[in-house]
Amino acid sequence: MIKAGIIGASGYAGNETLRLLLSHPNCEVVAVGGRSALGQKVSDLYPSYYEHCDLTFVSDEEVIEKADIIFAGLPSGLSEKYAKMCDEQGKKFVDLGADFRLHNEEDYKEWYKGEYKDKDLHQKQVYGLPELHRDAIKQASIIGNPGCYPTSVCLGLYPLLSHHLNASDHIIINSASGTTGAGKKLTEDTHFTKTNESFHPYKAGNHRHTPEIEQELSLMADKKVTVTFVPHLLPVNRGIVSTIYVKVDKDLDEIYKIYKETYQNERFVHVLPLGKNADLKFVTYTNDCHISLHMDERDHTLIIASTIDNMIKGTAGQAIQNMNLMYGLPEETGLQMVGPSF
């Protein structure tokens, strides 16, 4: 039985990881940390755990002491010291935040205003998108769990860029996320009265996920890829829809065939039949990604719609998918949820 601990379990990402791990047949959650809730029971903070989980929030150090694998749901800049502790003790570490996603420290300095204090530690990090880096994840001890927006975008573009079917190196991405993507801390934009019946872009052209997206797309394409990335805030709790626009030099039927072949053995990525539209409703509370393909025949622009649950495939579910790979378990273990029908 895998002994798991969660640092930052009082926040949305850590809490969702706890919720999913409680149903995992090969894992036991042995400790949870949450500085804002230290000494409280999980069920005091989240009543849904009443008589399901009686764990009490303990110190982060105690979480690491008790567990074999640690999930950290922390703001950027806070995970490195815990990853180092785990590394020194021979324990596995999955960072749900941004500290181990970017290969280039200069990108981290520019977009997150921090630095890598232990550069050798970052040589061990693996970007945890299983559909792209499965073999490396199996051997990894430190995982940088992908951001939710980059997950939807990378899965949406992987078949296209890896087969060099794009006629332009510049890609336009409009993504819309539910409010849980902003985290638990309340801001002016996430007040109910601001988000209710609202839909608007934010951080247009300067969102922190931009370098992560460009990093992975460039690896797929074997050349530098740039994007115009515009995120939007949806008045829903969870879910992401990324609509991606790129010029292509192949017809839709040929591209569709390549997408189907690329993902035919992937448990969590589903390319919908032509004429169907990816819809976040049907991937919520699952680890699935739905992709639909469309073509503007007037200028041969491919339109890709990629949708995920930002809290599961975009965060906690993907982290558990990575854990399964790290421990040699079937990838879908504990993640075989079917989305709602209505």
Q: Which residues are catalytic?
A: 148
Q: Which of 77, 70, 89, 75 is nearest to 32 (CA)?
A: 70
DSSP symbol at 313 = I
CA 65, chain centre distance (Å):
26
What is the token pair recorded at 189? 């934009």
> From CA 201, how far away is CA 232, in angstroms rounded?
4
Q: Which of 253, 254, 246 is nearest to 302 (CA)?
A: 246
Cross-sheet strand order for the sheet of 69-72: 57-58, 27-33, 2-7, 69-72, 92-95, 142-144, 125-127
Ramachandran area for residue 164 (φ above 0: left; ψ -120 to 50: alpha; else beta): left
For residue 237, the SS3 value is: coil
